[in-house]
Amino acid sequence: MSKKKILTLVFVREAGKILLGFKKRGFGAGLWNGFGGKVEEGETILQGAKRELLEECGLKAHSLKSVGLINFEFESDPTILEVHIFQTSDFSGLVAESEEMRPRWYSEESIPFSQMWPDDRLWFPYMLKDRQFEGYFLFKGMDIILNHWLKEVNLLNS
Ligand X SMILES: CNc1ncnc2c1ncn2[C@@H]1O[C@H](COP(=O)(O)OP(=O)(O)OP(=O)(O)O)[C@@H](O)[C@H]1O
* Mask for 83-122, x = binds ligand X (CB under 6 A): x---------------------------------x-xx--
Q: What angle do CA 107, 111, 115 make, to 5 degrees?
A: 145
The strand pairing partners of 147, in sequence order, are 138
Backbone dihedral region for residue 129 (phi beyond 0: left; psi -120 to 50: alpha; all else: beta): alpha
Point out which span in 24-32, 106-114, 125-133, 147-155 binds ligand X (CB under 6 A).
24-32
> Which listed residue (24, 38, 62, 140) binds ligand X by CB under 6 A?
38
CA distance 13 to 111: 12
Nearest to 7 by CA among 41, 47, 64, 48: 48
Report, in Å, the least distance between residue 43 CB and ligand X. 12
Three-state secondary-structure class, residue 144: strand
CA distance 53 to 43: 14
- What residues from 4 to 23 belong to the interface with ligand X (CB under 6 A)? 7, 9
* Residue 66 binding ligand X, by CB under 6 A: no
* Residue 72 binding ligand X, by CB under 6 A: yes
Q: Which is nearer to ligand X, 15 or 41 (CB)?
A: 41
Residues at the interface with ligand X (CB under 6 A) = 7, 9, 26-28, 33, 36-38, 72, 81, 83, 117, 119-120, 139
